[in-house]
């Protein structure tokens, strides 16, 4: 591991200069360069503000619950600008990153909170009938919403998702503890490892650069809480509904 003051070599050769961490860079008011939202706003729950936006002005509704907080809604920059030509789309930044608040309390980061944030956003838009598109950990939020409010969901689309992250295996629990130590002790190293694992294409460095920048706008303290919050969850019974 590198020390907290050091940055991996790829940060210099691929990512380049980084702004102050823990917040969005100045000038990043919108997640997409090629399209502007029809409207945007925030919902507030227990003092935590969650940013959301609606893209497109016609067609069926699609909604993307936020995935693991190592990224914010700019993750969808190659998806939403195209889809909003044909659909009305709801995106949001999950608490802990992007344009949403970054509360410091452990209790602020739970699946219950993520689910309630997502439901509050759809109620605020409002959306009567919607297709949910869930990526990675967001699957647990989407499955729960579909199970508890089935009359509101037209389709459920899952990409690279999972519906349980149990810690029954002591080896898995040890890995979780190790990852949190990694995050807190060497956040640049963790971002380098995470996105090098996700993006393995030898000649495609832009996704790696983007991912590091998304993660950089959060913080190690927040990310450690987020990492814990997605673990130990199991929505398989809800999925069987």
Q: Where are the domains of the chain?
A: 9-239
User: Pick from 6, 69, 66: which is nearest to 215 by CA?
Assistant: 69
Contacts of 159 by beta carbon, 8 Å cutoff, 6+ apart: 133, 134, 135, 136
18's tokens: 């980084």
- Give kind and range of the element (H or E) at residue 133: strand 130-135
Position 28 pLDDT exceeds 50:
yes
pLDDT at 69: 93
Position 2 pLDDT exceeds 50:
no
Strands (E), the chain: 39-45, 48-55, 61-63, 88-92, 130-135, 153-159
pTM across the whole model: 0.93
Contacts of 193 by beta carbon, 8 Å cutoff, 6+ apart: 182
pLDDT at 5: 52
42's tokens: 């925030």
Q: To the nearest whole number, what is the mean pLDDT of the chain? A: 93
Over residues 142-170, mean pLDDT = 92
Contacts of 36 by beta carbon, 8 Å cutoff, 6+ apart: 30
CA distance 98 to 115: 18
pLDDT per residue over 87-117, tens digit each? 999 999 999 999 999 999 999 999 999 999 9
Hey, what CATH class is 9-239 in? Answer: alpha beta
């Amino acid at each position: 591991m590198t020390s907290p003051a050091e940055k991996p070599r790829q940060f210099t050769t691929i990512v380049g200069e980084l702004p102050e961490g823990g917040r969005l860079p100045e000038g990043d008011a919108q997640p997409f360069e090629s399209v502007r939202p029809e409207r945007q706003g925030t919902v507030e729950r227990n003092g935590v503000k969650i940013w959301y936006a609606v893209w497109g002005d016609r067609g069926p509704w699609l909604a993307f619950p936020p995935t693991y907080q190592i990224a914010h809604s700019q993750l969808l920059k190659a998806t939403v600008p195209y889809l909003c030509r044909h659909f009305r789309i709801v995106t949001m930044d999950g608490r802990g990153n992007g344009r949403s608040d970054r509360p410091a309390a452990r209790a602020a980061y739970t699946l219950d909170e993520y689910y309630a944030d997502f439901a509050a956003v759809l109620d605020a838009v409002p959306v009567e009938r919607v297709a949910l598109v869930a990526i990675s950990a967001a699957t647990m939020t989407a499955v729960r919403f579909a199970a508890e409010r089935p009359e509101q969901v037209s389709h459920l689309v899952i990409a690279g998702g999972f519906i349980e992250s149990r810690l029954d295996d002591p080896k898995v629990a040890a890995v979780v503890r190790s990852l949190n130590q990694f995050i807190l002790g060497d956040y640049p190293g963790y971002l380098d490892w995470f996105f090098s694992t996700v993006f393995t294409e030898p000649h495609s460095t832009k996704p790696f650069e983007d991912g590091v920048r998304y993660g950089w706008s959060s913080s190690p303290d927040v990310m450690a809480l987020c990492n814990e919050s997605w673990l130990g969850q199991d929505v398989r019974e809800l999925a069987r509904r």
